[in-house]
Amino acid sequence: MKKAIVVGASSGIGYQLAVLLSQNGYKVGITGRRDQLLVNLKATNPEQFIVSVFDATDIAAIPQNLKVLTDELGGLDLLVLSSGTGKINPELDINIEQGINALNVAGFTAVANWAFNFFQKQAFGQFAAITSIAGIRGNRQAPAYFASKAYQINYLESLRQKATNTKLPIYITDIRPGFVDTAMAAGENLFWVASAEKAARQIFRAIENKRDIAYVTKRWRIIGFLFWILPKFIHKRL
């Protein structure tokens, strides 16, 4: 039986992905801060899930938390990082910005770093992270969120280069959703909103196919490309 960890499996995309992995033969370590939601998920299929409750901003404790969970699973083939936070912050409240950075940058780095080193040591494995279409350009409404997603995208690209250099079967998968119907996507003017179930199905396929980058849903690749080519003189006036 394959072994996976989903960091941030208590709700949203991570929850649905954990369910899908369990239905496809994985034993899954599920993490988050809201213990009751994780316990409820485990109760749906007790043999397939192991619960580990921790805050991913507690970066000093992350290596130990992930190691203990991996030992309980009896190994690790795949680590998915779905934990993330974001908030519209037009006032540029510094506490909001730093809170986002604490999870999306510092917490992300701690998990990514542990995963890469673990997979390198065992000579195989896959690390997948849920970044965002937001990482392609900056945005005045939520600077830390968009910048943190750009950081994640670049960090994953760096790890992919390192993985290729090792010549080992280590895969780094960057999942870039557009809008997905979860607590995080609250707001107006949303379009092409996918259900979390549909997003999870596409993410699962991208993971199985060892994709480098996947847009979810697929048509968000078009928006990603348009963002990318948008001239700077237009972008700065938006």
3-state secondary structure the chain: CEEEEEECCCCHHHHHHHHHHHHCCEEEEEEECCHHHHHHHHHHCCCCEEEEECCCCCHHHHHHHHHHHHHHHCCCCEEEECCCCCCCCCCCCHHHHHHHHHHHHHHHHHHHHHHHHHHHHHCCEEEEEECCHHHCCCCCCCHHHHHHHHHHHHHHHHHHHHHHHHCCCEEEEEEEECCECCHHHCCCCCCCCECHHHHHHHHHHHHHCCCCEEEECCCHHHHHHHHHHCCHHHHCCC
Give the orientation angle of helix 108-122 with respect to helix 143-166, to 10 degrees. 10
Which lies closer to ligand NAP via its Cβ, residue 195 or residue 237?
Answer: 195
> Which one, 186 or 229, has the nearer CB to ligand NAP?
186
Q: Which is nearer to ligand NAP, 20 or 103 (CB)?
A: 103
CB of 123 to ligand NAP, least distance (A): 28
Give least dist CB 63 to ligand NAP, A: 15
Q: In the complex, what is the shortest distance from the CB of residue 103 to ligand NAP, in angstroms, rounded to a whole number?
A: 5
Residues in touch with ligand NAP (CB under 6 A): 8, 10-14, 32-34, 55-57, 82-86, 103, 130, 132, 177, 179-180, 182-185
Output 12 or 224, the one with its CB closest to ligand NAP.
12
55/77 with CB nearer ligand NAP: 55
Closer Cβ to ligand NAP, 87 or 168, answer by number: 87
What is the closest distance, in whole angstroms, from the C-beta atom of residue 166 to ligand NAP in the complex? 26
CB 165 to ligand NAP: min, Å: 27
> CA-to-CA distance for 13 and 141, rounded, in angstroms?
23
Q: Closest separation between CB of residue 108 and ligand NAP, Å?
A: 9
